[in-house]
Amino acid sequence: MKKFLGICLTLCLLLSALTIPALAEEVTEISFWTWRPEDTAFYDAVIADFEAANPDIKVVQNAIKNTEYNTILSAALAAGDGAPDVFMSRAYGGLQTFADSGYMLALDELMPELADFSDSARGGATSITDGKIYGVPAVSQTMLCFYNTKIYEELGLSVPTTWDAFLANLEACKAAGYEALANGTKEGWCCEFLFGGVGPSFYGGNDFYDKVITGETTFMDPVFVDSVQKIKDLAPYMPDMFEGVAYTDMQANFINEISAHFVGGSYEAGYFSAENPDLSYDVFAVPGLTADDPAYVSVYADMNFSISATTKKQDAALRFIKYLATPEFGERIVSELAMVSAIPGVDVSANPFIAKVLELQENATPYIFLVGFRYEQPTGSSLFQSAAQDLMVDKASAEETCQVVQDGIAAYYEPFQK
């Protein structure tokens, strides 16, 4: 009997040894790449909740520096074996490049819930080549003007409803010893987002955008040239030697209450609040010439979640991005990152800032060069960024700046060649 029990015990131990690894092998590990190292803790928490509900999947996050992300991701996707299973993908032309290269999985049939997203959200994730959707839209961004409410209260200022009132506020801040406007131009992309916050109220928002896309007008249209001149008119209120002021300097000056205004994207809010919890700020749309003119804000889809075409773990990857398409995740984007979620049905009541941004989006227009002209080279963005740097330091006029953009895009854009 003892010998029999011993045999049974041995068999049980052997079975246990064989069963435990077998169970462990049932957990599928997938890799998830982002360009947001600053949000690592946020995504760790999101992943933990996903894994709790899906114990058979393990997600490993790899956060890569934003400026290095595209290069590293492109190389990994081209190599195939080193590609992530799920990754943050750019919108518009950035997505198009990877989709045309066959690096991304089309999601139309795999995720019918994408039909519930707005047209503008899907637009940033859709290939203009085949019309298929290659990512789950995550967030949208809005270009607007942040202002320090304590400084406004101190100086007795009110939110401007005309361009002249805006300039008067800048003048009052400058006279009081504040840096009126934080914006600098050391990096060309900062010129583009300054224009994204200022220009639309002068070139007419959607009316001009629709016409320039079809070739009914061009970037030499007088209303567009005038809108470009408007950012040059802000130079007296920008920091001393603003041409050497970098993006991080701009952020620091507003966060530390050196600057009274910051024209930029809604994506700044979470960072501003995290770096200075006592910072009191609000936002407004930069106004046009009169109070009756619509104050437009430029809006664009900023981020998608995509699946590598070469993944061998498609089912697990799909379950993860389906989770990233839920209102639950969208509400965390709103409440924890202070960004506008692209997911339908998201409750924004927990974040008054986001509610304000959505209110301003009632006069939304596409962020013109990013949404409409980043699909071919040279992109509208690269052309404008470089030319606008020259404009701001008196090396070019507004008309010459627009000519550079028009000529560069016309080299390949058929509507401008008629």
Q: What is the pLDDT of residue 15?
A: 52
Say if residue 48 is in the same domain as residue 146: no
pLDDT at residue 3 above 70? no
Beta strands in 219-312 (DSSP E): 259-265, 281-284, 297-307
Domain boundary among 358, 379, 402: 358
Q: Band the pLDDT of 22: cuts 50, 70, 90.
A: very low
Q: Which residues pair with 261 in a beta bridge?
A: 147, 181
Structural domains of the chain, count: 2
Please report whether residue 64 resides in a domain: yes
Say if residue 402 is in the same domain as residue 324: no
* CATH number of the domain encompassing residue 322: 3.40.190.10
Q: Band the pLDDT of 258: cuts 50, 70, 90.
A: very high
Please report whether residue 5 resides in a domain: no
- Stretch 50-55: mean pLDDT, rounded? 98
Say if residue 252 is in the same domain as residue 294: yes
pLDDT at residue 5 above 60? no
Residue that wins the pLDDT comparison between 418 and 26? 26
Residue that wins the pLDDT comparison between 9 and 317? 317
Q: Taking Cα atoms as reference points, which of 385, 412, 363, 324 lies closest to residue 125?
A: 324
Domain boundary among 358, 376, 402: 358
- Stretch 366-395: mean pLDDT, rounded? 97
Residue-wise pLDDT tens digits, 259-298: 999 999 999 999 999 999 999 999 999 999 999 999 999 9
Region of 207 on the Ramachandran plot (φ > 0 left; ψ -120 to 50 alpha; else beta): alpha
- Stretch 173-183: mean pLDDT, rounded? 98
Say if residue 222 is in the same domain as residue 125: no
Residue 288 CA from chain centroid, whole number = 25
Say if residue 146 is in the same domain as residue 250: yes
Domain boundary among 335, 358, 381: 358
Q: DSSP letter at 126? A: B
Q: What is the pLDDT of residue 349?
A: 85
Say if residue 244 is in the same domain as residue 369: yes
Say if residue 370 is in the same domain as residue 399: yes
Q: Which domain holds residue 67?
A: 25-140+302-358
Q: Band the pLDDT of 418: cuts 50, 70, 90.
A: confident
Say if residue 154 is in the same domain as residue 268: yes
For the chain, what percent of residues have pLDDT higher than 90?
91
Please report whether residue 16 resides in a domain: no
Q: What is the pLDDT of residue 10?
A: 54
Q: Band the pLDDT of 304: cuts 50, 70, 90.
A: very high
SS3 content of the chain, % helix, strand, coil (to 5): 50, 15, 30
Q: What is the pLDDT of residue 16?
A: 54
Please report whether residue 13 resides in a domain: no
Say if residue 192 is in the same domain as residue 265: yes
Q: Band the pLDDT of 21: cuts 50, 70, 90.
A: very low
Say if residue 171 is in the same domain as residue 93: no
Q: What is the pLDDT of residue 25?
A: 56
- Stretch 195-220: mean pLDDT, rounded? 97
Please report whether residue 261 resides in a domain: yes
Say if residue 29 is in the same domain as residue 96: yes
Please report whether residue 9 resides in a domain: no
Q: What is the pLDDT of residue 203?
A: 97
Say if residue 324 is in the same domain as residue 251: no
